[in-house]
Structure 1
Amino acid sequence: MIRTPLRPLTRVLQAREHGENPDAIERENVRLRHEDMRDRARTRAEGRLLVLGIFFLCAFMSVSIRMAVLAASDPVEPRASASAASIINQRNDIVDRHDRILATNLQTYSLYAQPPVMIDKAEAAQKLVAIFPDLNETKLLEQFSGSRKFIWIKRRISPEQKQAVHDIGDPGLQFGPREMRLYPNGAIASHVLGGASFGREGVSSAEVIGIAGVEKQFDRYLRDPANGGAPLQLSLDLTIQAATEEVLAGGMRLMNAKGAAAILMDIHTGEVIALTSLPDFDPNDRPRPLTEGDQSDSPLFNRAVQGVYELGSTFKIFTAAQALDLGLVTPDTIMDTKAPMKWGRFTINDFRNYGPKLSVTDVIAKSSNVGTARIALEIGADRQKAFLDHLHLMKPLPFEMVEAHGVNPLYPRNWSELSVMTISYGHGISTSPLHLAGAYASLLNGGTRITPTLIKQDGPQNGDRIVSERTSIQAREMLRKVVTDGSASFAEVPGYFVAGKTGTADKPLTNAAGYYEDRVIATFASVFPHYDPKYVLVVTLDEPVETSGEEPRRTAGWTAVPVAAEIIRRTAPLLGLRPHIEPGGVTSVSLTAN
């Protein structure tokens, strides 16, 4: 910076020549210099104020924009830390196909104690037992008097219990927030939902994890914050599920059965509309698994998915349909049904004597073991095995429940000629009712394979072809005759034209080879309406016995069939199916001239 001298020599000389005072020049230059310094300082200050103002404006705008974004966005999933690990304590809802809640979350509290800060430990223990009768006062007092600084008392408590504990007034009794899983419909669809429990826990939060059913199958999805709280939508219909369970429970009691299962499935999409296993349980208070004995005796056992049974004569339609599709027989082909049928030292008999000859249609309608076995011999072992495998009857199903993944159908390693005959009528091979429902849907929907699913679908599956459409129609006609003229006459529901097949199989001994003489698995597999099938229904009863007559009756026609008919009668209107008059073909046309 160049500074102007206060007493420039040139001006001082000029001033003296003119008789002026040189000091006046210095005072003027000082004044000008001060004014210049003042102007520069003011400009610098104004610049700084401008920059500071812009900074505060930007900061204010950033805060305002962030507040607006937070106000307009969905709540962020809360997290809490415990043991230096992140705990996600929110879980998405599960809903049915109509968005009705099947599983949701409820805010509650946990109760814990900090003994070092407790005032009166004996009184606290006494009052806690009065609030929670399942606690032991002596044990509580021992824990409070020990060296531990932290003790869990209750993982979940109700608001009323929280208030009661609060009224004790002891500072050592503390509460931690909890999010618990709630199943508002109680036991309805309990085996499908499975249940949830606490995983990692901290004082301020706990991890809710699935332990069975779809809760475990979709555990990662339900806990993933990236899903934005979107619920898991199942194919179940809550109304249909409730109606099915109610009817099946009544039928189970009426038929004195040990257990029961029912599956109602869309024949084109594979959507499971209702899946029931009895006895059931309340997932809000899930019982403990059995540690000994037969696991099928536990209410946690899912008979529809995990139960692997010989399903008897329900398999006969597979034999007939394969023979029809191969061109080996027609519905009117006459088969030799003379009984008994000998194979080595083994004998195959029918339930009653049906005569020496029956058409293929009547073999199915009257449920002849001998006739079915002779049809199977024409098919052969390799083709029979390949056909059943194509129907997914020899492998676990890719069904959206963890329990389904380990369910392996049972069949002989050595597929002998005897196996061909017995498997043709459902003996010597064991599958689950869910396997059977999928196979019936695949065979009778027009002949394309269907895989059962618990997730709501947008349209038909359009799987691989199993049989021709013509064969599928012929199979449905045969099953319709089982209802109109055969062993399933009780299945007739006016206006819905049920078609189906009964199956009664002796139950294997639990700890030995052979079968019980007075215990059976009774099954009825059906479709309705048969001329334009919409749904498949499979009903299975474990050890049923109908006692209204002089002698006990255990066959499916007397036990499983009436229960299935009542389920159809109750659910078909709820499914939107209106009763119709069965369409008939045009038998003759005549022309008249005026």
Structure 2
Amino acid sequence: MVRTPLRPLPRILDARAQGENPQAVEREMLRVRREQARDIGRKRAEWRLLILAVLFFAGYAAIGTRMGLLAAAPVIEAEPYVGEQIADARADILDRNGRILATNLVTNSLYAELRYMIDGDRAAAELARIFPDVDEDRLAARLTDPDRSFVWIRARLSPEQAQAVHDIGEPGLLLGPRQMRLYPNGRLAAHVLGGAGYGQQGVTAAEIIGTAGIEHRMDARLRDPDLADVPLTLSLDLAVQGVVEEVLGSGIEMLNARAGSAIIMDADTGELVAMASLPDFDPNDRPAPPVEGDPTEHPLFNHAVQGVYELGSVMKSFAVAQALDLGLVTPETVIDTRGPLRMAGFSIRDYRNYGAELPVSEVFVHSSNIGTARLAQMIGIDRQQDFLRRFGFLDPLDLEVTEARRALPQFPERWGELSAMTISYGHGLSTTPVHLAAGYAALVNGGRRVVPTLLRRPEVQPVEQLVTPETSRQMRAMMHAVVERGTARMAQVEGYAVGGKTGSADKPNPQGRYYDDRVIATFAGAFPMTDPRYVIVVTLDEPSETSGEQARRTAGWTVVPVAAEMVRRIAPMMGMRPQSDAEIEAAFSLR
């Protein structure tokens, strides 16, 4: 470093020679040096401020750029709690009028974190008071086990139970929010809905999966996250379903029947407006499947779609319709009804003696087994099989409930002439009430095949023509005659033209024969028969009407009044105007 002298000698000597004060030279030199130092400090400060300003600008620019990039980036959903990636969304189920049949409800699960537990024995005692089914000693052992850190206690709680658990005040008892499936109408339409349960579970989420009924069959649709906000609309009418179940239940109780089913189907679209099976259950608390005993006696058994029965004389409608459609007979054609009719060592008899001959219309009205068997002989085996197959009687149902595909119609492997004759009047072919309803819909709607469905289908789908409109008209007239003066006279409902056919099929016993005093009683028909809109099928298992001296089990005394009460109550609800007797009478004539 070069040192600048504070008092340069040449200038001092020169100042003395001229008589000046040498101290002034020193002061001047000091001033110059201070000014130089000040200039250097100012420049250094200016550079520091400039660098600091650049750094601040760069920092704010980086922050602003990052904020802009985040704002422009696509939204990313927040991750679920602690790795629980469980989808619990499930679409609502509605009836045809938008009323809720099934929905999701926020509830809580209950679990224990033992690291926070203060008094496990007290917590177990309090929980046993809230949940009577809890084993207090076993729970206490789990809550005080030093080798445990987590205890799962309850999958779901009601709001009252959740509050009671909260009031215990135990920090180790924790509630986890989750969804549950709720059926707000309880038992109503239980077999249609089926029920749902939990699949994969975590403490704050649970996967809801269908376990039976439409909940199981349509599970993929209901769990689709893209359709979670789009309800699944069924064909059921909740109000009609309620009336049908109420009347069916009263009929079962009054007639001491083991079980029963009832179906109301739109004759044009195949929509099931009501489908009931009793006994039933509450899908909010679905019972466990049976592991022993007769499954048909369990509440989970759906008699409408799982009940495969010989349905008796209701099947005569198809034999008569086929004979008319083939042009083999007319309603006036006389049929030999002398009996018994013997075939291959088997005797076919009528319930009572109807005389030596009857026209086809009277064979149907009086339900002659012999006359119907004669028609089956005229039709032939191959044509009968083809006809029943086209009506769907030989194939499983493709209905939107899981149980339907498991019910297989039963018929002889060797379909000979005797089988053809017995099948014509309802013995030898076992099928379900829904099969029967679809068949009757085709007979009364002008001959068009319908496909049964539980989904809303407001428009008629293009389908196969099974019989001609003229055959359908003739069948409607004969079915109405059965109610007016035949075996179903108790089905008459004032203001509504009801038509149909009765069936009383003996029940098979385990020994391979038939019971003498047990029947499946069925009424299958439609209303109003002047322009059929709905098909009705009601079935009772082992009914018995005991108001007289002897028990009466035939359909005319048992199931027919139950069906009539259903029509009487639901027809006005479904917007049908009552007709006068003159209007009804003018609409029918057998030609």
What interval of TM-score do these two structures reach, taking the shorter chain for normalisation?
0.7 to 0.9
The CA distance in 2 between the partners of 1:461 and 1:368, in whole Å, is 36
Shift of 1:398: 1.1
Residue 307 (structure 2) pairs with residue 307 (structure 1): yes
Answer yes or no: is the 8 Å Cα contact 1:396–1:406 preserved in 2: yes
State the secondary structure of the residue aligned to 2:310.
Answer: coil
Answer yes or no: is the 8 Å Cα contact 1:104–1:183 preserved in 2: yes
Bigger radius of gyration = 2
Does the C-alpha gap of structure 1 residues 282 and 46 become closer, same or farther in structure 2, counting only changes over 3 Å? Answer: same
Answer yes or no: is the 8 Å Cα contact 2:198–2:206 preserved in 1: yes
Answer yes or no: is the 8 Å Cα contact 1:263–1:537 preserved in 2: yes
The CA distance in 1 between the partners of 2:237 and 2:115, in whole Å, is 53
The CA distance in 1 between the partners of 2:261 and 2:570, in whole Å, is 16
Amino acid paired to 2:353 = N
Shift of 1:381: 0.5
Answer yes or no: is the 8 Å Cα contact 2:90–2:228 preserved in 1: no
Answer yes or no: is the 8 Å Cα contact 1:449–1:462 preserved in 2: no
Answer yes or no: is the 8 Å Cα contact 2:491–2:498 preserved in 1: yes
Answer yes or no: is the 8 Å Cα contact 2:530–2:587 preserved in 1: no
The CA distance in 1 between the partners of 2:207 and 2:149, in whole Å, is 23
State the secondary structure of the residue aligned to 1:573.
Answer: helix
Deviations 1:422-450 (A, max 9, x none): 00001011000000001111122100100
Residue 485 (structure 2) pairs with residue 485 (structure 1): yes
Amino acid paired to 1:291 = V
Deviations 1:130-174 (A, max 9, x none): 111111111112222333322211111122222222222222211
Shift of 1:49: 5.8
The CA distance in 2 between the partners of 1:212 and 1:80, in whole Å, is 29
Amino acid paired to 1:111 = L
Answer yes or no: is the 8 Å Cα contact 1:79–1:88 preserved in 2: no
Amino acid paired to 2:238 = L
Deviations 1:272-295 (A, max 9, x none): 000000011111111111100110
2:385 corresponding residue in structure 1: 385
Does the C-alpha gap of structure 1 residues 458 and 50 become closer, same or farther in structure 2, counting only changes over 3 Å? Answer: farther
Answer yes or no: is the 8 Å Cα contact 2:497–2:584 preserved in 1: no
Amino acid paired to 2:404 = A
Answer yes or no: is the 8 Å Cα contact 2:84–2:202 preserved in 1: no
Moved more, 296-305 or 135-144: 135-144
The CA distance in 2 between the partners of 1:411 and 1:332, in whole Å, is 31
2:187 corresponding residue in structure 1: 187
1:120 corresponding residue in structure 2: 119
Does the C-alpha gap of structure 1 residues 122 and 454 become closer, same or farther in structure 2, counting only changes over 3 Å? Answer: same
1:56 corresponding residue in structure 2: 64
Shift of 1:53: 6.6
Answer yes or no: is the 8 Å Cα contact 2:103–2:182 preserved in 1: yes
Does the C-alpha gap of structure 1 residues 297 and 58 become closer, same or farther in structure 2, counting only changes over 3 Å? Answer: same
Residue 177 (structure 2) pairs with residue 169 (structure 1): no
Amino acid paired to 1:56 = G
State the secondary structure of the residue aligned to 2:309.
Answer: coil
- Give the TM-score normalised by the residue count of structure 1: 0.86
The CA distance in 1 between the partners of 2:585 and 2:294, in whole Å, is 51
Amino acid paired to 1:274 = A
Shift of 1:553: 0.3
Amino acid paired to 1:520 = V
The CA distance in 2 between the partners of 1:339 and 1:212, in whole Å, is 49
Shift of 1:550: 1.1
Does the C-alpha gap of structure 1 residues 53 and 240 become closer, same or farther in structure 2, counting only changes over 3 Å? Answer: same
Shift of 1:87: 1.0
Deviations 1:35-73 (A, max 9, x none): 9xx9xx99xx8999699679838946974998xx99xxx
Deviations 1:527-556 (A, max 9, x none): 111121100000000000000111100000
Does the C-alpha gap of structure 1 residues 48 and 473 become closer, same or farther in structure 2, counting only changes over 3 Å? Answer: farther
The CA distance in 1 between the partners of 2:157 and 2:566, in whole Å, is 39
- Give the TM-score normalised by the residue count of structure 2: 0.87
Answer yes or no: is the 8 Å Cα contact 2:222–2:228 preserved in 1: no
Aligned 1:94-105 pairs, distance under 5 A = 94-105=93-104
Moved more, 542-551 or 107-116: 107-116
Answer yes or no: is the 8 Å Cα contact 1:314–1:525 preserved in 2: yes
2:364 corresponding residue in structure 1: 364
Answer yes or no: is the 8 Å Cα contact 2:399–2:453 preserved in 1: yes
Amino acid paired to 1:395 = D
Shift of 1:228: 4.4
Amino acid paired to 1:361 = S
Does the C-alpha gap of structure 1 residues 552 and 463 become closer, same or farther in structure 2, counting only changes over 3 Å? Answer: same
The CA distance in 1 between the partners of 2:500 and 2:189, in whole Å, is 25
Residue 440 (structure 2) pairs with residue 432 (structure 1): no
Amino acid paired to 1:161 = Q
Answer yes or no: is the 8 Å Cα contact 1:176–1:203 preserved in 2: yes
Answer yes or no: is the 8 Å Cα contact 1:393–1:409 preserved in 2: yes
The CA distance in 1 between the partners of 2:300 and 2:98, in whole Å, is 26
Count of residue pairs the alignment pairs up: 542
State the secondary structure of the residue aligned to 1:374.
Answer: helix
State the secondary structure of the residue aligned to 2:316.
Answer: helix
Amino acid paired to 2:111 = Y
Answer yes or no: is the 8 Å Cα contact 1:114–1:173 preserved in 2: yes
**Structure 1 stretches of 5 or more lacking a match?**
1-30, 71-75, 588-594
Does the C-alpha gap of structure 1 residues 80 and 331 become closer, same or farther in structure 2, counting only changes over 3 Å? Answer: farther
Deviations 1:318-365 (A, max 9, x none): 001101111100000000001211113210011111111100000000
Answer yes or no: is the 8 Å Cα contact 1:209–1:216 preserved in 2: yes
Residue 497 (structure 2) pairs with residue 497 (structure 1): yes
Residue 157 (structure 2) pairs with residue 149 (structure 1): no
The CA distance in 1 between the partners of 2:120 and 2:416, in whole Å, is 74
The CA distance in 1 between the partners of 2:525 and 2:193, in whole Å, is 26
The CA distance in 1 between the partners of 2:310 and 2:106, in whole Å, is 46
Residue 290 (structure 2) pairs with residue 284 (structure 1): no
Shift of 1:483: 0.6
Shift of 1:407: 1.2
Residue 137 (structure 2) pairs with residue 129 (structure 1): no
2:27 corresponding residue in structure 1: none
State the secondary structure of the residue aligned to 2:331.
Answer: coil
2:446 corresponding residue in structure 1: 446
RMSD: 2.7
The CA distance in 2 between the partners of 1:586 and 1:125, in whole Å, is 73
The CA distance in 2 between the partners of 1:543 and 1:81, in whole Å, is 56
State the secondary structure of the residue aligned to 1:244.
Answer: helix
**Structure 2 stretches of 5 or more lacking a match?**
1-38
The CA distance in 2 between the partners of 1:57 and 1:250, in whole Å, is 75
State the secondary structure of the residue aligned to 2:406.
Answer: coil
